[in-house]
Amino acid sequence: MAEVKNKQVVLKDYVTGFPKESDMDIVEGTISLKLPEGSNEVLLKNLYLSCDPYMRILMSKMEGPEGFRTYAPGSPLTGYGVAKVLESAHPDYKKGDLVWGFTKWEEYSLVPASLILFKIKHTDVPLSYYTGLLGMPGMTAYAGFFEVGLPKKGEKVFVSAASGAVGQLVGQFAKFTGCYVIGSAGSKDKVDLLKNKLGFDDAFNYKEEPDLNGALKRYFPEGIDIYFENVGGKTLDAVLLNMRVHGRIVVCGMVSQYNLAQHEGVTNLANLIFKRIRMQGFNVADYYQLYPKFLEYVVPKIKEGKIVYVEDIVEGLENAPPALVGLFSGRNVGKQVIVLARE
Amino acid sequence: MAEVKNKQVVLKDYVTGFPKESDMDIVEGTISLKLPEGSNEVLLKNLYLSCDPYMRILMSKMEGPEGFRTYAPGSPLTGYGVAKVLESAHPDYKKGDLVWGFTKWEEYSLVPASLILFKIKHTDVPLSYYTGLLGMPGMTAYAGFFEVGLPKKGEKVFVSAASGAVGQLVGQFAKFTGCYVIGSAGSKDKVDLLKNKLGFDDAFNYKEEPDLNGALKRYFPEGIDIYFENVGGKTLDAVLLNMRVHGRIVVCGMVSQYNLAQHEGVTNLANLIFKRIRMQGFNVADYYQLYPKFLEYVVPKIKEGKIVYVEDIVEGLENAPPALVGLFSGRNVGKQVIVLARE
Ligand SMILES: NC(=O)c1ccc[n+]([C@@H]2O[C@H](COP(=O)([O-])OP(=O)(O)OC[C@H]3O[C@@H](n4cnc5c(N)ncnc54)[C@H](OP(=O)(O)O)[C@@H]3O)[C@@H](O)[C@H]2O)c1
Ligand SMILES: NC(=O)c1ccc[n+]([C@@H]2O[C@H](COP(=O)([O-])OP(=O)(O)OC[C@H]3O[C@@H](n4cnc5c(N)ncnc54)[C@H](OP(=O)(O)O)[C@@H]3O)[C@@H](O)[C@H]2O)c1
């Protein structure tokens, strides 16, 4: 069998608190570039890997919340990526196909065909977009904003972690819908991006607003109709004070809480009653049947230059652990991607 | 003008912390039993007054949440009640009509016709029911459970403050819908009521369950589909750990929090994401257009003896302050009503 070297990012041990680079190891394994006898799997060459905040949750030792499977120490991380099919035992895929879906943090992966989400059809866009704009984060922004948020023209929208993989799209979708949209992010540069490149009506640096409630009152004197929740904790508590009657809180993520042993307490939930608010969590995986509709919405806008997408691309698997860890200090500017190979 | 004595319950001053009887005064005013010249109001003789937990919120000095108007010290409390029309300047009401809606805590009240919610048509049921089963709490249980909760046959339902005005009906509606329903309440007697009279599948005394999460795991080994939230705080936090995928939390009230200067922090909200939960606040006032439909649902069940309604009736305005205060220690068993006059 033709064995080749296969570099991997392996979880050393379960993580508590903030993840560190040293929680992961780069190890050199080997893999056969032939499908094992009787396999019904697909052999992938990984091109782009996606750094996603939820990966931190899988690094904890815990009974995973339903539907989640935590990582196993000693094994490579798993996650979303873009890959090329080298061999396939499954009729839906053939050698040379480009796909995006679940793969592993290594150069070559053998994965069940069921983990591949989609064959890539549009290749006249950067392939890396299938980890972001045209991949899971794009679908997350689309499903969360439209299907859960049910936005109406003229509504006031607030997005946290607004310059990130998901947030930057929510802001742009909000503008396409005729909403007024404000974003918060963790640095001056990100705020500039939001205002000058990503089309947000305004933006602020939450780290420079010790009084978040006051800041929101300034930016939303009439209150918030839709809050696209990416961070949780104190931000959510301040938002609850500033929601409008019949507002909606789209609970996409709570990245500020993932590293805490005990999550911060949210005290203003009685506003859900006073203001008849719908606060709804969702998982993008429940909406993948909308992917074709999403592409119809978004691909023409990309071609016409109406959508901007900011990526933060690092080269090589060695740089994957710091890139992943960097999500939790806001080191990434835009969608955090790792390139392993360009084709 | 024919002036008569008019006993009133007056708020002495804004309340902080738990309300006390001494926060209210019984004062003797006078009122003319003729409508003032040019009035377009309705003169009511109050028969039954309703004690409702939300009244505590209006006793605080604060900018009322939108749509709420706090009480004014020195003025009588306002609230829901059943009354007889003595005189009316409004074409919809005439002398002798029985009505339910907003009135004041006094013997006779002059109220704008717009505050009266409904003329009472079915009088072959106890009139006091129009403060409970056939009034605002009944509509609250109906709208909250059916319109917000969207229950399906076979689903598992948890109700807190389950023996109260609203909770006891939610449990019965859940059984009519073919759900499995468990209630929590604050005493052995209430638990017995729930199990033996109100048709709950099971019930427990939350005061004897220091580990609420453990208790819920025992009662709902497969998790909760619908939580009808009446109390908030620690109960909500434990429920969040025990919700099922695609569960719904109907946020009706948070009575355990109304007396706290700072509400307790709820830490398990990330479960909204993991389990794709919809948590939705509502106000019964948004659903009164369904009142006729509600009567169609509920009146035949009353006549056939299929609905039980537990009331806690005290006599006389003097007993109104302790009755109201008693809601916050769970002194009431069932719907707390005050009778001023029976006709
Ligand atoms: N429900 C779903 O199906 C689904 C799918 C995908 C993603 N998500 C969630 O969506 C959210 C955004 O994901 P993404 O991929 O777009 O990530 P991202 O925004 O590209 O990266 C994470 C960003 O979060 C911010 N952040 C980190 N720690 C923070 C803290 N303590 N307080 C406030 N902000 C903090 C940082 O930006 P700053 O510099 O601005 O702080 C960082 O850049 C995450 O919560 C993620 O879990 C949910
Ligand atoms: N959204 C709306 O439109 C709407 C309309 C009506 C009512 N509500 C809300 O619905 C809830 C129930 O109202 P209700 O009229 O049916 O009142 P109720 O249950 O008849 O009376 C209040 C009950 O709350 C329980 N309670 C008091 N303090 C508590 C605490 N610290 N922890 C746990 N339970 C406590 C007590 O029962 P135990 O002995 O069991 O502790 C007490 O009997 C309230 O939160 C109310 O504000 C909302």
Pocket test for ligand 2, best of B172, B249, B255, B331 (most atoms within 8 A of CB): B255
Ligand 1 proximal residues by C-beta, below 6 Å:
A 52-54, 137, 140, 161, 163-167, 185-187, 190, 230-231, 252-256, 282-284, 327-328, 330, 332, 335; B 273
Kindly state whether residues B119 and B144 are assigned to the same domain.
Answer: no
Q: Report if residue A256 sits inside a domain.
A: yes
Kindly state whether residues A110 and A167 are assigned to the same domain.
Answer: no
pLDDT digits (tens, 9 = 90+) for B105-159: 999 999 998 888 899 999 999 999 999 999 999 999 999 999 999 999 999 999 9
Map residue B95 onto helix, strand or coil: coil
Domain with A243 in it: 136-285
pLDDT digits (tens, 9 = 90+) for A203-228: 999 999 999 999 999 999 999 999 99
Kindly state whether residues A27 and A147 are assigned to the same domain.
Answer: no
Which of A267, A272, A282 has the CB atom closest to B251's CB atom?
A272
Pair type for strands B278-281 and A278-281: antiparallel
What 3 state SS string does chain A have?
CCEEEEEEEEECCCCCCCCCHHHEEEEEEEEECCCCCCCCEEEEEEEEEECCCHHHHHCCCCCCCCCCCCCCCCCECEEEEEEEEEEECCCCCCCCCEEEEEEECECEEEEEHHHEEEECCCCCCCHHHHHCCCCHHHHHHHHHHHHHCCCCCCCEEEECCCCCCCHHHHHHHHHHCCCEEEEEECCHHHHHHHHHCCCCCEEEEHHHCCCHHHHHHHHCCCCEEEEEECCCCHHHHHHHHCEEEEEEEEECCCCCCCCCCCCCCECCCCHHHHCCCEEEECCHHHHHHHHHHHHHHHHHHHHCCCCCCCEEEEECHHHHHHHHHHCCCCCCCCEEEEECCCC
Q: Which of A205, A219, A277, A215 shows the shortest CA–CA distance to A247?
A: A277
Q: Report if residue A291 sits inside a domain.
A: no
Region A71-87 average pLDDT = 95
Given A269, A285, A301, the domain boundary residue is: A285
Q: Give nearest CA residue, ligand 2 atom 35.
A: B256
CB-based contacts of A269, cutoff 8 Å, min separation 6: A240, B232, B236, B251, B254, B263, B266
Q: Which of A192, A185, A173, A323 shows the shortest CA–CA distance to A256?
A: A185
Q: Report if residue B163 sits inside a domain.
A: yes
State residue A173 phi and psi, 5-degree precision.
-65, -40
Region A251-272 average pLDDT = 96
- Please report the pLDDT score of residue B314 as a whole number: 97
Kindly state whether residues B186 and B87 are assigned to the same domain.
Answer: no
Substitution target from B224, B258, B269 for chain A, most A beta carbons within 10 A: B269
pLDDT digits (tens, 9 = 90+) for A152-179: 999 999 999 999 999 999 999 999 999 9
Q: Supply the mean pLDDT for chain A.
A: 95
pLDDT digits (tens, 9 = 90+) for A50-78: 999 999 999 998 765 555 678 999 999 99
- Least confident range of A261-270, B55-64, B183-192, B295-304: B55-64
| Closest chain B CA to residue A233 | B267
Per-residue burial over A181-195, b = 16 or more CB atoms within 10 Å of its CB, e = otherwise: bbbbbbeeebbebbb
Kindly state whether residues B274 and B148 are assigned to the same domain.
Answer: yes
Q: Report if residue B234 sits inside a domain.
A: yes
Is pTM, for the whole model, over 0.90? yes
State residue B162 phi and psi, 5-degree precision.
-75, -20
Q: Report if residue B328 sits inside a domain.
A: yes
Which one of the ligands is nearest to B137 CA?
Answer: 2
State residue A19 phi and psi, 5-degree precision.
-75, 150
Residue A266 contacts B, CB cutoff 8 Å: yes
Number of domains present in the structure of chain A: 2
- Please report the pLDDT score of residue A66 as a whole number: 57
| pLDDT tier for residue A32 given thresholds of 50, 70 and 90 | very high
Structure tokens, B315: 């006599």
Kindly state whether residues B278 and B239 are assigned to the same domain.
Answer: yes
**What's the rounded Cα separation, in Å, for the pair B244 and B275?**
6
The single-letter DSSP state of residue B141 is H
Structure tokens, B25: 């005064």
Q: What CATH number has the domain bearing residue B53?
A: 3.90.180.10
Q: Report if residue B291 sits inside a domain.
A: no
Q: What percentage of chain A carries pLDDT values higher than 70?
A: 98
Region B256-260 average pLDDT = 95
Q: Could you tell me if the CB of B339 is within 6 A of ligand 2? A: no
- Which chain B residues are within 8 Å of A265, Cβ to Cβ? 264-267
Which one of the ligands is nearest to B171 CA?
Answer: 2
Pocket test for ligand 1, best of A255, A279, A284 (most atoms within 8 A of CB): A255
- Please report the pLDDT score of residue A68 as a whole number: 64
Given B285, B300, B322, the domain boundary residue is: B285
Structure tokens, B9: 């319950």
Which one of the ligands is nearest to B148 CA?
Answer: 2
| pLDDT tier for residue A247 given thresholds of 50, 70 and 90 | very high
| Closest chain A CA to residue B280 | A278
pLDDT digits (tens, 9 = 90+) for A224-245: 999 999 999 999 999 999 999 9
Kindly state whether residues B234 and B99 are assigned to the same domain.
Answer: no
Q: Which of A24, A26, A110 shows the shortest CA–CA distance to A71?
A: A24
Kindly state whether residues A148 and A272 are assigned to the same domain.
Answer: yes
Region A318-329 average pLDDT = 97
**What's the rounded Cα separation, in Å, for the pair A60 and A259?**
9
Check if the beta carbon of residue A56 is closer than 8 Å to that of residue A79: no
Q: Shortest Cα distance from A168 to chain B (angstroms)? A: 20
**What's the rounded Cα separation, in Å, for the pair B113 and B132?**
21
Structure tokens, B164: 């109260």
What 3 state SS string does A39-57 have?
CCEEEEEEEEEECCCHHHH
- Please report the pLDDT score of residue B323 as a whole number: 98
Residue B262 contacts A, CB cutoff 8 Å: yes
- Please report the pLDDT score of residue B66 as a whole number: 57
Q: Report if residue B173 sits inside a domain.
A: yes
Q: What percentage of chain A carries pLDDT values higher than 90?
A: 92
Pair type for strands B78-88 and B98-104: antiparallel
pLDDT digits (tens, 9 = 90+) for B221-250: 999 999 999 999 999 999 999 999 999 999
Kindly state whether residues A82 and A198 are assigned to the same domain.
Answer: no
Residues 176-235 in A contacting B (C-alpha not used; CB under 8 Å): 232
State residue B244 phi and psi, 5-degree precision.
-95, 160
- Which chain A residues are within 8 Å of B264, Cβ to Cβ? 265, 267
Q: What CATH number has the domain bearing residue A275?
A: 3.40.50.720
Q: Supply the mean pLDDT for chain B.
A: 95
Which of A68, A232, A265 has the CB atom closest to B264's CB atom?
A265
Kindly state whether residues B272 and B228 are assigned to the same domain.
Answer: yes
**What's the rounded Cα separation, in Å, for the pair A124 and A299?**
10
**What's the rounded Cα separation, in Å, for the pair B272 and B263?**
20
Q: Do B274 and A65 touch (CB under 8 A)?
A: yes
Pocket test for ligand 2, best of B145, B166, B187, B191 (most atoms within 8 A of CB): B166
Kindly state whether residues A118 and A169 are assigned to the same domain.
Answer: no
Kindly state whether residues B156 and B246 are assigned to the same domain.
Answer: yes
CA of A255 to the centre of ligand 1 (A): 5
